[in-house]
Amino acid sequence: MLLEFDVNGIKRKLDVDPEMRLIDILRDKLGLKGTKEGCGEGECGACTVIIDSVAVNSCLVLAIQARDKQIITIEGLEKDGELDLLQKTFINQGAVQCGYCTPGMLMSCKALLMQNTNPTEKEIRLAISGNLCRCTGYTKIIRAVREAVETGGMQNG
């Protein structure tokens, strides 16, 4: 099938098998290797991308479902060589250890902040409930989101 969609602001046209998983399209067809696979069944969240402002496990999305959608991957967060605020706060707070869950974690957090500019701690925990991290115990990830909310708020104000 012909897949037309928008990835990180770039219109793409690809000829793919309609049953190909989105994660494979991103990684193998577009070379966007920042999106990781950790379980292949939507339990670990390492493959999370944003589709039309919603965080989605790209291992559970088929090519046909990605048609005409706007997709943001980890590679799309950095703008003009500058890291997104969340990426910076992840570094500041030590929310990154091995880094393998980090892209998916960041996309879940980004999607949360796109929908809710001032989430509570409970909302943050819920937003990343589908993203497993074995290194951090999540605390520093939650602090990073909080710092982004506070800094972002200050920037806006």
Partner 1 sequence: MDQKLKYIGKYIPIHDAKEKVSGKIVYVGDMELHGMLHAKLVLSPIAHGRIKHINISKAEALPGVIAVFNYKNSPEILYNAHKWIEGIEVIRDERLFTSHVRFFGDRIAAVVAESKEIAEKAANLIEVEYEELPVILDPEIAKKADSYPIHPDGNHFFSKEIKCGNPDEKMKEGFLTIEDRIETPKTHHAAMETHACIADTDQIGNITVYTPCQVIFQVQLIVSEALKIPRNKIRVIKTTTGGSFGGKGQPILEPIAAFLSYTLKRPVKLVLDRTEEIIATRTRTKTIGTVQTAVDKEGNIIARDIHMLVDAGAYTTNGEAIAVAMGKKTFKLYRIYDQRYVAEAVYTNTLIAGACRGYGSPQIHSVTEINLDNVAKALHMDPVEFRLKNLVHPYDKDPTGGPELGNARIIDCVKKGRELFEWDKKYSRPKQAGRYARGVGMACGAHGNGYFGAYPDFITLSLRINEEGTAVLKGAFHDVGCGTNMTMMQIVAEVLDLDVSKIYIPATDTLVSPFDSAGTQASRVTFVCGGAAKKVAEQVRAKLIAYGAKVLDCMEADVVLEDGYVWDCNSIDLKISYGELAVITQKRYSEEMGATMTYQSPGNPTSYGAHFVEVEVDTMTGRVKILAYLAVHDLGKAINSGFVEGQIQGAVQMGIGMALSEEITFDSKGKVTAGRFSRYHVINAPDMPEVQVELIERLEDLGPFGAKSIGEAATVPTAPAIINAINHALDVNLTVLPALPDRIMDAIKSKTKERV
Chain residues binding partner 1 by CB under 8 A are: 27, 32-41, 43-44, 46, 73-75, 77-78, 83, 87, 90-92, 94, 96-103, 106, 122, 124-126, 128-142
Q: Are 132 and 44 in contact (CB under 8 A)?
A: yes
Cα Rg for the chain, rounded, in angstroms?
15
Residue 15 or 68 with smaller CB distance to partner 1: 15
- 54 CB contacts (<8 Å, ≥6 apart)? 111
CB of 112 to partner 1, least distance (A): 12
Per-state percent for the chain, helix, strand, coil, to nearest 5: 40, 15, 40
Q: How far is the CB of 157 from partner 1 (least distance, A)?
A: 25
Strands 48-51 and 54-57: antiparallel
- Pick 54 or 83: Cβ nearer partner 1: 83
Q: How far is the CB of 101 from partner 1 (least distance, A)?
A: 5
